[in-house]
A and B are shown apart, each in its own frame.
Chain A
Amino acid sequence: MTDHVPSIPLRTALIYAVAAGLWILFSDKLLAALVHDPESISWLQTIKGWGFVSVTALLLYAGLRRQIGKLEQARVIGKQQLAVLDQAEKVLRETEEQMRLAVSAARIGLWDWDLKTNQVYYSPEWKRQIGYEDREISNEFSEWQSRVHPDDLGRVLSTAQAFIADPWPNYQLEFRFRHKDGSYRWVLAQATLMKDEQGRPARMLGTHIDITERKQMEEDLRQQARLLDLAHVLVTGADSRIIIWNTWAEQFYGWSKEEALGKVSHDLLKTVFPEPLETIEAKLRATGTWEGELRHTRRDGSQVIVASHWQLDGGPNGESEVILEVNNDITALRQAEAEIRQLNAELEQRVMERTAQLEAKNRELETFTYTVSHDLKAPLRGIDGYSRLLLEDYLDRLDDEGRTFLYNVRSAAEQMNRLIDDLLAYSRLERRALHTSEVGLDLLIGSVAAECADKIQERGITLTVEVPCANVSADPDGLALVLRNLLDNALKFTRHVPHPAITIGGRETETSCILWVADNGIGFEMQYHDRIFEIFERLHRTEDYEGTGIGLAIVRKAVERMGGRVWAESVPGQGATFYLEIPK
Chain B
Amino acid sequence: MSANKAAFLLVEDNPMDVDLTKRAFARRRLVNPIEVARDGEEALTWIARWDSGEPRPVVILLDLKLPKVSGLEVLQQLKSHPTYRTIPVVVLTTSADDYDVKTAYQLGANSYIVKPVDFEKFMEVATQIEIYWSALNEPPR
List residues of A whose CB falls within 8 A of some B CB.
370, 373-374, 377-382, 384-389, 392, 413-414, 417, 432
Distance in Å: Cβ of B79 to nearest Cβ of chain A: 23
B98 to chain A, nearest CB (A): 8
Q: Which of A370, A386, A417 contacts B118 (CB 8 A)?
A: A417
**Do A378 and B94 contact each other (CB < 8 Å), given the known contacts A385-B16, A385-B20, A389-B23?**
yes
Contact present for A386 and B20 (CB under 8 Å)? yes
The answer to the question of B1 belonging to the interface, with a C-beta cut-off of 8 Å to chain A, is: no
Q: Which residues of A contact B17 (CB under 8 A)?
A: 378, 381-382
Please name 22 pairs of A and B residues whose Cβ atoms are closer than 8 Å in the assembled complex, sorted by A. A370-B95, A374-B94, A374-B95, A377-B94, A377-B117, A378-B16, A378-B17, A378-B94, A379-B16, A380-B117, A381-B94, A381-B115, A381-B119, A382-B17, A382-B20, A384-B118, A385-B16, A385-B23, A385-B122, A386-B16, A389-B23, A417-B117
Interface size, B (range): 10 to 19
Bound form: Cα–Cα A414–B119 in Å:
11
Q: Which of A384, A385, A389 has the most CB of B within 10 A?
A: A385
B118→A414 contact, CB < 8 A: yes
Top 4 closest A-B pairs, CB basis? A388-B119, A385-B20, A382-B16, A385-B119
Query: B38 on the interface (CB 8 Å rule)?
Result: no
CB neighbours (8 Å) of B115 from chain A are 381
CA distance A373 to B93 in the complex (A): 12
Q: Which of B61-110 contact A (CB under 8 A)?
A: 65, 94-95, 97-98
Question: A373 to chain B: which residues have CB within 8 Å?
Answer: 94
Residue of A nearest to B117 (CB): A417
Contacts of A382 in B (CB 8 A): 14, 16-17, 20
A388 adjacent to B117 (CB under 8 Å): no
A556 CA to B20 CA, complexed, in Å:
39
The total number of A-B Cβ pairs within 8 Å is 48
Does B54 sit within 8 A of A, measured CB to CB? no
- Digitize B116-141: 1 where CB-to-A-CB distance is under 8 Å, 0 elsewhere: 01111010000000000000000000
Beta-carbon nearest neighbor of B118 in chain A: A384
Between B16, B65, B95, B117, the greatest number of chain A beta carbons within 10 A of the residue's beta carbon is seen for B117
| Bound complex: CA A413 to CA B118 (Å) | 9
Kindly list chain B residues whose C-beta atoms are within 8 Å of the C-beta of A413: 117
Closest B residue to A431 by beta carbon equals B98
Chain A residues closer than 8 Å to B16, beta-carbon distance: 378-379, 381-382, 385-386
Closest to B98 in A: A432
Q: Is the beta-carbon distance between A378 and B118 smaller than 8 angstroms?
A: no
Interchain CA distance A337-B54 in the complex, whole Å: 75
B14: chain A residues within 8 A (beta carbon): 378, 382
A382-B17, A385-B122 given; A370·B97 CB < 8 A: yes
Instruction: Give Cα A385 to B15, complex, Å.
Output: 12
